[in-house]
């Protein structure tokens, strides 16, 4: 970063020498030029402007990183506190599968709470960036920090999860996601990696764009990871109702009550890791492209 400032300062000084020289004269940048006080003031002001502009971008990025980190950690505590209250009421003996009976209204409230959480994280990401790619990066970063510290606070408050291999319900939208705790943590670390690459090169004064090929890989990898999280639950439901009958069940409470009987059996690690590798390939391509530009 110091090299960038040195180059910027040198470019500003060369431009000032050009503007302050007599028309048609040969400019010798190694020669000292005596300027009037007003011209010297112009040089100092111009140099300070460009130099401070570069430093402002650095400090803005650091401030954004600090405040979004604090925001995400605070949200994680809020989320874990809600879960502590719910588990104290519904699982006095400790959380485990199958799920405790609950009314459809409570389940619907939980779904909307999850949606509200995502909207808040999207809002934080939007306010943190100047254009779409950086806003996307800050959203990923906020989501990942929130997810990781959610488990950290649950461990501190109630001693759960017992290990990183403990199963958890991750999301209810659009269907139930389940998996060992370590799986979403791995995804969160990958999200942080991608976010920091984008933020780093944006900070280097590059307008970061994700290419079409990289978007395709990111979306394909994310979809494969999503399938790994819903695989076991979907298999359980399909054992009771073929896919053609699920949407035609007359009483939807039947499906809801069936879902409360679900107990995780198998997590498709091969499918999950395949999705992760596709995402990491996209991240690697993005990094290589901007790394080569900066050399």
154-166 pLDDT per residue, tens: 999 999 999 999 9
Range of lowest pLDDT (139-153, 226-240, 254-268): 254-268
**Is pLDDT above 60 for 30?**
no
Distances 236 to 36, 62, 82, 244, 246 between C-alpha atoms, Å:
83, 46, 28, 15, 12
Nearest 10 degrees: CA dihedral of 54, 56, 60, 61? 20
Please give the C-alpha separations between residue 133 and each of 4, 63, 215, 226, 278, in angstroms, as whole numbers: 23, 19, 11, 22, 19
Give the residue extent of every domain in the chain: 67-294
Find the helix or strand (DSSP H, E) in which 171 lies.
strand 167-171
Per-residue model confidence as pLDDT tens digits over 194-252: 999 999 999 887 789 999 999 999 999 999 999 999 999 999 988 888 877 776 676 66
Q: Could you report the per-residue pLDDT of 209-222, keeping only the tens digit for each?
A: 999 999 999 999 99
Contact 166, 181 (CB under 8 A): yes
């Amino acid at each position: 970063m110091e090299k960038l400032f040195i180059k910027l300062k040198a470019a500003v000084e060369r431009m000032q020498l050009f503007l302050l020289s007599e028309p048609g004269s040969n400019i010798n940048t190694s020669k000292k030029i005596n300027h009037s006080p007003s011209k010297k003031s112009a040089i100092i002001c111009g140099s300070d402007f460009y130099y401070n502009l570069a430093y402002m971008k650095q400090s803005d990025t650091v401030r954004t990183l600090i405040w979004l980190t604090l925001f995400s950690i605070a949200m994680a505590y809020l989320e874990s506190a809600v879960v502590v209250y719910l588990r104290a009421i519904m699982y006095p003996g400790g959380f485990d599968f199958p799920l405790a009976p609950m009314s459809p209204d409570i389940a619907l409230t939980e779904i909307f709470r999850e949606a509200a959480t995502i909207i808040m994280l999207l809002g934080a990401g939007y306010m943190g960036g100047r254009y779409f790619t950086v806003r996307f990066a800050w959203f990923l970063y906020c989501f990942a920090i929130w997810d990781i510290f959610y488990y950290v606070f649950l461990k501190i408050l109630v001693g759960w999860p017992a290990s990183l291999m403990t199963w958890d319900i991750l999301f209810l939208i659009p269907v139930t996601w389940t998996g060992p705790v370590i799986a979403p943590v791995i995804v969160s670390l990958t999200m942080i990696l991608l976010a920091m690459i984008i933020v780093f090169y944006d900070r280097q004064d590059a307008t970061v764009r994700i290419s079409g090929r990289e978007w395709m890989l990111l979306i394909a990898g994310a979809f494969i990871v999503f399938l790994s999280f819903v695989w076991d639950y979907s298999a359980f439901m399909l054992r009771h109702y073929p896919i053609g009958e699920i949407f035609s069940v007359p009483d939807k409470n039947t499906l809801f009550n069936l879902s409360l009987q679900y107990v995780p059996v198998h997590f498709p690690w091969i499918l999950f890791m395949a999705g992760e590798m596709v995402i990491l390939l996209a991240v690697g391509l993005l990094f290589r492209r901007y790394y080569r530009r900066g050399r």
